Amino acid sequence: MIRLDKYLADMGCGTRQEVKKLIRQGRVAVDGEITKKPDVKIDVGEPETRPSVQSDGWEPMQRQTVCVDGKEVGYESYEYYMLYKPGGVISATEDKHAETVVDLIKDKKRKDLFPVGRLDKDTEGLLLITNDGALAHRLLSPKKHVDKCYYAKVSGKVTVEDMRAFLQGVNIGSEENPEVTMSAALEIIKSGNISEIRLTIQEGKFHQVKRMFHAVGKEVLYLKRERMGTLVLDETLKPGEYRCLTDEEIKNL
Ligand code: URA
């Protein structure tokens, strides 16, 4: 149960003050009846609005309807978007000067969305944008061993020795402060002056992929995340585009 003014503010109908005004102006109806009380409680049917392992998928259990100016405003506790992050955009929720990945989600209702893990400004590819903190923790914790799979173009010849080194773990810290990576699977797609590889890691240290290649004397020229756990970048999306996750994708995560 949540207050009507919070319900409307959560769904992007305005600030708490603005939605209170809407309510007092008699523009908001609950179950068909105009109400002028911002603190009236609305049954949003949580937690069943969130797909669970037990459920067969999305089961909206909201028991009440809320309309603003006659238009229904449904409540969503959680939102899940797959974004094809383009280069040049920062992985943050807000920034005074630069465009963020959350700014790219134009259809969002909730104001508490954040990116699950950070991709560098010049990195492209799969980014999950949600407000589901528990899911984000599960996906990001190295203890949960969730794969993060990257495609990269790397300067120099990537070798079988690099594959072995990554499997064993490389030091991406310094001699005094070693930071050894967990075992990672390196696949060489093309080896040459500029190599193409796929690397699967299960942690997300700062600039991890770039620092791993740096540790074996190479430089990442282009980096794209293709997969995170069971979530695969939808290749029908173009850089900068996004879509909602399907019920199946949410359930599988
Ligand atoms: N590793 C990096 O070096 N950069 C990223 O953006 C993601 C992983």
Residue type (1 letter), 117: G
Does ligand 1 come within 6 angstroms of the Cβ of 202?
Answer: no
Report the separation in Å between the CA atom of 123 and the middle of ligand 1, taken as the mean of its atom positions: 7
Report the separation in Å between the CA atom of 150 and the middle of ligand 1, taken as the mean of its atom positions: 9
Among 76-80, 84-88, 164-168, the least confident range: 76-80
pTM of this prediction? 0.83
Residue keyed to tokens 């978007």 = 81
**Has 120 been annotated as catalytic?**
yes
Q: How far is CA 218 from the centre of its chain?
A: 29
Overall average pLDDT of the 68-82 stretch:
92
Q: How many Cα atoms occupy the beta-carbon half-sphere of 38 within 13 Å? A: 15
pLDDT digits (tens, 9 = 90+) for 108-150: 888 899 999 999 999 999 999 999 999 999 999 989 999 999 9
**Annotated catalytic residue, options 10, 103, 112, 120:** 120
pLDDT digits (tens, 9 = 90+) for 6-57: 999 988 899 999 999 999 999 999 999 999 999 999 988 765 445 544 444 4
- Residue 253 reports pLDDT greater than 70: yes
Does ligand 1 come within 6 angstroms of the Cβ of 207?
Answer: yes
Token representation of residue 159: 């070798």
Does ligand 1 come within 6 angstroms of the Cβ of 201?
Answer: no
pLDDT digits (tens, 9 = 90+) for 85-118: 999 999 999 888 889 999 999 988 888 999 999 9
Does ligand 1 come within 6 angstroms of the Cβ of 120?
Answer: yes
